[in-house]
Amino acid sequence: MRKLVFTIIIIIVILFLYYLYVVGSPYSKVSEVEEFIVHPGWGSMKIAEQLEKQGFIKSNQVFVLYVWKNGISSKLMSGEYDLAKNLSIKEVAQVLSGGLVKDKERAITIIEGWDTRDIAYYFEQEGVYNADDLYKLVGEPGQTYEVGEDVGLYDFSEHYDFLFDKPKDQGLEGYLFPDTYRIYHDAELITVVKKMLDNFEQKLTTEMKEQIKINNVNIHDTLTLASIIEKEVATDEDRKLVASVFYKRLNNDMPLQADSTINFFTQTGKTRSSIEETKIDNPYNTYKYIGLPPGPICNPSLSSIMAAIYPDKNSYYYFLTEEDGTVHYASNLEGHAANRAKYLD
């Protein structure tokens, strides 16, 4: 009898040690990661069987015993998981009961004032989309395009009324609204572009559209002006003042003389243009050509768009910006010259 009891004790000890070994040891030394799906309605036994079948655990019986013993059988959550093959049963159970499901989405952030080049570069750096694929959809900065069934850009205007004012030969520069977006890892690029356009559509209210008409301009021209404002000054107050300066210049056939438009095509990154650069023959050169350039030079913030729609009326015709962002205004050329001598020269 004693021998039988002793044998039983030995067996129990061996089983317990085996249990501890299997629970605490990884299935493999290789840290290979594979997807594991827990479907809704699966109980611990079904989950354990599938884990063993896919090579994540050594024993489905030990897994069931472990989750029962620790009171987490009912806490195993359905979803898609990325599991490594070098996890122990204990660690696998922690992942499945903690709901650490695979994130199907990622965040992308489009910064205010970025142009399409910046967005394309960002996409490539993040490894999400190819720059050329973006250009094929929305156009390259400063380029004009033919529009047709087989030639030119994708025509989004059939989906968005606010694009009716946009010249057909212009891309979507200015319309790709800066914001943070949640996208699926496998989302098509056109879906992401539509998210940006949807966001712009929501931001552009009926009241704003009515005011644009009162301003005797259209949405495209408003965005073009807003994009220049975005690059010229930084604060809400200055943006509204500068918007008024630009409107007066436009209404009086004066060149805008915005250095930001020259930098758009020279890509030198300079805040002030040289005399030689102001003479370059380019439709975006607002020193050489009177009026607005063909389209936006970046994707402006809501602040700059609001400034272009609701400018603060003033008597200024000139402004200049110091390196620290401080803006100085003048009502005439003499005052502007004095400001240049005082703050820039």
Question: Residues 260-305: pLDDT tens digits?
Answer: 999 999 998 888 889 999 999 999 999 999 999 999 999 999 999 9
Q: How far apart are CA 139 and CA 84, in angstroms?
A: 42
Q: How far apart are CA 339 and CA 45, in angstroms?
A: 80
- Based on the fold, state whether residues 235 and 124 are members of the same structural domain: no
- Based on the fold, state whether residues 145 and 260 are members of the same structural domain: no
> Into how many domains does the chain fold?
3
pLDDT at 272: 85
Question: Residues 231-268: pLDDT tens digits?
Answer: 999 999 999 999 999 999 999 999 999 999 999 999 98
pLDDT at 205: 97
Are the C-beta atoms of residues 227 and 177 closer than 8 Å to each other?
A: no
Instruction: Tell me phi and psi for residue 126, to 5 degrees.
Output: -80, -10
Are the C-beta atoms of residues 314 and 329 closer than 8 Å to each other?
A: yes
- Based on the fold, state whether residues 222 and 314 are members of the same structural domain: yes
- Based on the fold, state whether residues 222 and 325 are members of the same structural domain: yes
Q: What is the mean pLDDT of each run of 10 residues along the chain (345 residues)?
A: 62 60 68 83 91 88 87 86 85 82 81 97 93 94 70 80 93 96 89 96 97 97 98 96 98 96 91 90 96 97 98 95 92 94 86
pLDDT at 8: 64
Nearest CA among 151, 301, 319, 136 for reference residue 230: 301
Last residue within a domain, chosen from 203, 233, 248: 203
pTM value is 0.75
- Based on the fold, state whether residues 189 and 246 are members of the same structural domain: no
Tokens of 140: 């390259």
- Residue 333: inside a domain, yes or no? yes
Instruction: Tell me phi and psi for residue 328, to 5 degrees.
Output: -120, 135
pLDDT at 154: 83
- Residue 209: inside a domain, yes or no? no
Last residue within a domain, chosen from 152, 176, 203: 203
pLDDT at 69: 86
Instruction: Tell me phi and psi for residue 263, to 5 degrees.
Output: -65, -25
HEC profile of 277-325: HHHCCCCCCCCCCCCCCCCCCCCCCHHHHHHHHCCCCCCCCEEEECCCC
- Residue 208: inside a domain, yes or no? no
- Based on the fold, state whether residues 39 and 83 are members of the same structural domain: yes
| Residue 60 lies in domain | 2-97
- Based on the fold, state whether residues 37 and 56 are members of the same structural domain: yes
